[in-house]
Structure 1
């Protein structure tokens, strides 16, 4: 599948990204890279989470292209984490199986086009279920969950989803928000979702 951006624009973004990464020896967050690149899609979807995913996908695609190029040239090793990137001196490193899987995903434009709002929501649900802390033996009560999400009960599933998206975007750590507050919002959302099953 083809890139969603014209080739000249993609080359320009890649050059800008390369310059940003090479000019800093510090860890770069994906959010800071997105801000420095000023990446905005002209045909972005109306769902803000899907639009954020598309921007994220393009940056990850370019980062993995740079990682492959620099490894082949034995120039440097670009460590690409979930939300951060760091440049290291080259040392004949082999990417882990996990990293190879992520590279394969982000280097294939088919994954960009196949993502829908519903699929993204399910993947985010699965991810947060996976990373949720097991130490939390006390689930939130209905009232506590409503307070966290600033909702009155009863509410509709549509109201719940809209409020969750709004607060998740506000508190998301990649957007400069509070990680603890983001987790609370996520847990409250999951608690209230159980009321609609």
Structure 2
């Protein structure tokens, strides 16, 4: 699907008025005010996805236009959307950009239903919380994530305790020590 939704002049105006950038949330609220609409974002996950998708589709379309005109660069992320001065030699838009490709393909919007959004949200929260891999590593170190704040210092302290108990030189099992070491390597990725 090659059709595009054209950016409104108001969108560019709002971005020009905020040189420090705006979060996606702030931009959506300002666009709502501009249009005289209710200043609340949708609460239904599918409607919120559609709102997000249409905004990012429009932003990527605007970014391509500005780049083609050599007038500005548009930085796009949910936490900061802002205009930057155009500079020759900046990374070309022709490079593979999977997010750009996704948001400019309106079939993604058309073909995404409520169940798909539910799965996307579930996958997001699982990755954020660490999912099964993180839970197994916490269990191997006999740590309870619900038992208070866990930080890398606490995890390392528990790791050292378990290594001293289960080290083969002290009568422990090599297999158990390997599980403890693997758990520590895993948790270091989540707690930095």
TM-score (norm 2): 0.57
- 2:9 pairs, out of 3, 10, 15, with 15
- 2:102 pairs, out of 105, 108, 117, with 105
TM-score (norm 1): 0.56
Alpha-carbon displacement from aligned partner over 1:139-179 (angstroms, at most 9, x marks no partner):
449xxxxxxxxxxxxxxxxxxxxxxxxxxxxxxxxxxxxxx
* Cα distance in 1 between the residues matched to 2:43 and 2:75: 30
Contiguous gaps of at least 5 residues in structure 2 = 139-143, 148-192
Alpha-carbon displacement from aligned partner over 1:71-103 (angstroms, at most 9, x marks no partner):
111111111113431221112322689971111
TM-superposed deviation, 1:130: 2.1
Q: Does residue 70 in structure 1 map to residue 62 in structure 2?
A: no
Counterparts in 2 of 1:47 and 1:89: CA distance versus 1, 3 Å: closer
Contiguous gaps of at least 5 residues in structure 1 = 142-197
Q: Which residue number corresponds to residue 114 of structure 2?
A: 117
| SS of corresponding position for 1:77 | strand
Counterparts in 2 of 1:47 and 1:31: CA distance versus 1, 3 Å: closer
- 2:18 pairs, out of 21, 24, 28, with 24
The correspondence of residues 168-187 of structure 1 with structure 2, limited to 5 A, is none
Rg larger for:
2
* Cα distance in 2 between the residues matched to 1:125 and 1:40: 33
* Cα distance in 1 between the residues matched to 2:43 and 2:106: 20
Q: Which residue number corresponds to residue 161 of structure 2?
A: none
